[in-house]
Amino acid sequence: MTLTETSAVMPERIATKRTVLMCRPEFFTVVYRINPWKDPAIPTDTSLAVAQWQTLYDTYIGLGFDVQLIDPVDGLPDMVYAANGGFIIDNIAYGASFTHPERQPEGPAYMDWFAANDFDVRAPQNINEGEGDFLLVGGVILAGTGFRSASNSHAELAGIYGREVVTLNLVNPNFYHLDTAIAVLDDTNIAYLESAFDEQSLVTLRALFPDAILATEEDAAVLGLNSYSDGYNVVIASRAKDFERQLRERGYNPIGVDLSELLLGGGGVKCCTLELRR
């Protein structure tokens, strides 16, 4: 049995209220290069980043989400990418341990917030970058490795949550986190970019999700897959036009936002969004 729709009739897409954590990009800039998207030689506009982020925040509020905020920290320009700050299921917050020294202070900052907000915090024993590489689909956790999160964090994850963890190997440095190459649409459906994965991972994805949306290279190149869904409304990069079309054909309601300034740091909609599952 697969994690996919078994009926030939398209089911009704149902929106469910979400609780998410975000971080205002008050200190956003690009001063170091730790992914192919970043180039310190290209100027960034912090005020524009804040304005674009505010549109995303307002979109979530308009959808009825409960949006929590963590205070940004001066000197941590990537803290806006809240998805990397941890992974939360059943009120258990598995903390992040970042690969690059520039981002490592973010891990404790997020764990402090989790503890202050009554989550059961588990300090990581292995390198992992939170919900950037861990995606919950129904009862299964898809876990990425290859560039950031270490594969041994997957066993740690399984032990903490007692859920099946499916390892997927990323091979394209432009899609260095799993959430840049896979979009979770609801408990049984995803979209993904085939060229981001090795062959064994593609075999796994095709078996689990034979009816998945396959994204174009063009849409992936604007981080179109780095989106966030409540089961019906899917907030995506406004430039991901074919992905928008495919979502509408499947009965979802795509909502485009422009996060082009934050794309200069290698992040999009999902990067700015950490789901808090109590």
> Tokens in use for 188?
């049984």
Q: Could you tell me if 138 and 187 are in contact, meaning their C-beta atoms sit under 8 angstroms apart?
A: yes
Question: How many CB atoms within 10 Å of residue 2?
Answer: 12
Whether 271 is a known active-site residue: answer yes
Active site residue: 23, 154, 177, 272, which one? 177
Tell me how far apart the terminal alpha carbons of the chain are, to the nearest angstrom: 28
Strands 86-89 and 92-95: antiparallel
Report the alpha-carbon distance of residue 227 to residue 254 in Å, rounded.
10
Q: What is the largest CA-CA distance in the chain?
A: 52
* Catalytic site residue from 23, 154, 271, 272: 271
CA distances from 105 to 66, 77, 83, 85, 109 (A): 26, 11, 15, 10, 7
Q: How far apart are CA 50 and CA 261, in angstroms?
A: 9
Cα angle 45-227-109, degrees, rounded to a multiple of 5: 65
> Is residue 23 annotated as a catalytic residue, yes or no?
no
Phi, psi (deg, nearest 5) at residue 206:
-65, -35
The DSSP code for 224 is: T
**Active site residues per annotation:** 177, 271
